[in-house]
């Protein structure tokens, strides 16, 4: 996996504020590169140092295998939830998810400028490689 892509994904994840969330696909769309699987791979290998619980499956479910820890973060941050999260917290049973329609992060203009900068850096690196590798002259 390219480290520039890893760093770009992690930069976007760091921008998502407490109490908000986005899907893996949202991160890819904001970057204009990759897809939900690529973002998921970055998060599974490199995401432990960032607020990983704010990046979800499109259904609003927490990253697989991290339900209990993620729920603690969501409750502490006031992230909107749906379902029997109280039952899950008390008994370990009960289905719940983040209410992504309410919790989805809406970047501000300043955030969008930062996102464009991160995505632009990634694009420049890709374009730089294409020109050097294709040997085409105009």
> How large a percentage of the chain has pLDDT more than 90?
71
- Under 8 Å between Cβ of 57 and 23: yes
- Chain mean position to CA 130: 27
What residue numbers bound the domain in which 42 lies? 3-101+111-134
Tokens standing for 65?
């295998």
**What pLDDT is recorded for position 102?**
97
What CA–CA distance (Å, rounded) separates 103 from 21?
Answer: 6
What CATH number has the domain bearing residue 19? 1.10.10.10
Supply the pTM of this predicted model. Answer: 0.84
Q: What is the mean pLDDT of the chain?
A: 89
Q: Say whether pLDDT at 133 is over 60.
A: no
Whether 127 has a pLDDT exceeding 60, the answer reads no
Structure tokens at 12: 């976007």
Beta carbons within 8 Å of 45's beta carbon, 6+ residues apart = 1, 6
Report the domain count for the chain: 1
pLDDT single digits (tens) 23-82:
999 999 999 999 999 999 999 999 999 999 999 999 999 988 898 899 999 999 999 999
| Residue 24 CB partners (closer than 8 Å, separation 6+) | 36, 37, 39, 40, 43, 55, 56, 57, 58
- The answer to whether position 42 is within a domain reads yes
Q: Establish if 130 belongs to a structural domain.
A: yes
Q: Is 106 inside any structural domain?
A: no
């Amino acid at each position: 996996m390219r480290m520039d892509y890893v760093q770009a994904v992690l930069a976007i994840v760091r921008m998502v504020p407490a109490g908000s969330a986005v899907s893996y696909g949202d991160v890819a769309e904001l970057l204009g590169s990759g897809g939900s699987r690529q973002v998921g791979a970055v998060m599974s290998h490199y995401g432990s140092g960032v607020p990983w619980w704010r990046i979800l499956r499109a259904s609003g479910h927490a990253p697989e295998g991290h339900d209990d820890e993620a729920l603690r973060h969501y409750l502490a941050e006031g992230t909107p939830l749906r379902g029997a999260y109280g039952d899950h917290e008390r008994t370990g049973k009960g289905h719940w998810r983040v209410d992504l329609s309410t919790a989805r992060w809406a970047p501000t203009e300043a955030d969008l400028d930062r996102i464009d900068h991160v995505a632009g850096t990634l694009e420049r690196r890709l374009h730089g490689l294409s020109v050097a590798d294709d040997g085409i002259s105009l």
